[in-house]
Copies of this chain bind each other. A is one copy, B any other.
Amino acid sequence: MAQTIKKAKIKSTESTYTKITNAIGLQQIVILIVLILIYALFAAASPAFRSGNTMTSIMDASYYVGFLGLGVTFVIITGGIDLSIGTSMMCAAITGGVVYNELHAPVWVALVVIMVMATGVGLINGILVAKFKLPPFIATLGTMMITRGLGSIISNVKTETFPLRGSANGWYKSIFRTDGNFPTGVILLVVMAILASVVLNHTKVGRYIFAIGSNREATRLSGVNVVTSEAMAYVIAGFFAGLAAIAYAATYTTIMPGTGAGFEMDGIAAVVVGGTSLAGGVGSIVGTFIGVFIMTVLKVGLPYLDLQPHYQIFITGFVVLLAVYVDIYRNRKANK
């Protein structure tokens, strides 16, 4: 008898719980609708957008932004920011190119070097922020400058070209697009997103990342090693910047020195449009995933409307503001 009563009690509270999860899901549903609307708008306005290889273009453009976004989601949930992911990604990519071209290493070695380098930069960011307590904005602004210079130093300011499709070492390109133009990269992106989601929601480090973003001091006083967990968020961001570097090399083949500044903003904008709060403690991988596609559909779609480039930036700015405003407005209403 007591048993049944308890069950019933849990059931009834379960429904409140469902309501809350529904609310979280709602946020993602809202931006998914935004994404679909934007897509539909472009499809309606431009026959060329409907036809052909637009999807492949969107996919191609989304890989590196996608990986950057997934990684930096972790950092933003801790309440931090990582401005270095763009330059660190290009620094790693060009270093990989040097390893391949100058040291004549096999492609896979170059890819490993890319991952190690980008993850290493993430570790340095993590140490600066979590251990030395530098404000994330300024710590990663510093490493942004450093990696930007470093890439040029390592490559001796030379453009590095990765092996072309069809060439003996061109196999790595098929990770992202087969010779038959199938966007395999989207599979990798989805797999990594699922992995990221599991890490964020179902591992200790993920739990602590949320906890730190919500209340760092309380988390510390609970006996959690906040330094390690906070640093891990930056390491994860670095790791994903490495994946972004590989995606970039596979998609665009050549890497110019000194580039990458500005990419971080694409990633961060996607994350925030996806509903992750810059104040920390709140965020989701699904949101980021949708946010990334909102940004890339805009980027790929606006040129199809034959808009000149400056109108594209102008409109993207508005969409970012609008998306975030809608999210905040909805949240405020929900809290009433």
Contacts and interface: CB of A to CB of B under 8 A. Distances in A.
A243 to B, nearest CB: 24
Nearest to A143: B317
Contacts of A132: 325, 328
A272 B135 contact: yes
B313 A142 contact: no
Interface residues of A, number: 50
B135 A324 contact: yes
Contact of A145 (B128, B279, B320): B320
Q: Number of copies of this chain in the oligomer?
A: 2
Nearest to A139: B321
B310 A149 contact: yes
B317 A135 contact: no
Interface string A268-309: 110010000111000000000000000000000000000011
Given A269-B141, A308-B157, A321 B128 contact: yes
Interface stretch (A36-44, A111-119, A254-262): A254-262
Please report whether the interface of chain A is mostly helix, strand, loop or mixed according to DSSP.
Answer: helix
Nearest to A132: B325
Contacts of A272: 135, 137-138
A182 interface: no
A268 to B, nearest CB: 8
B317 A149 contact: yes
Q: Give the residue among A128, A152, A265, A310 with the most B Cβ atoms within 10 A.
A: A310
Given A261-B262, A308-B157, A320-B145, A278 B314 contact: no
A134 B317 CA distance: 14
Interface of A: 81, 128, 132-135, 137-139, 141-146, 148-153, 157, 257-258, 261-262, 265, 268-269, 272, 277-279, 308-318, 320-321, 324-325, 328, 332
27 contacts: A128-B321, A132-B325, A134-B328, A135-B277, A137-B268, A138-B320, A142-B317, A142-B318, A142-B320, A142-B324, A143-B321, A144-B317, A145-B313, A145-B316, A146-B313, A146-B314, A148-B310, A149-B310, A149-B312, A149-B315, A153-B310, A153-B311, A153-B314, A157-B308, A157-B310, A257-B310, A258-B310
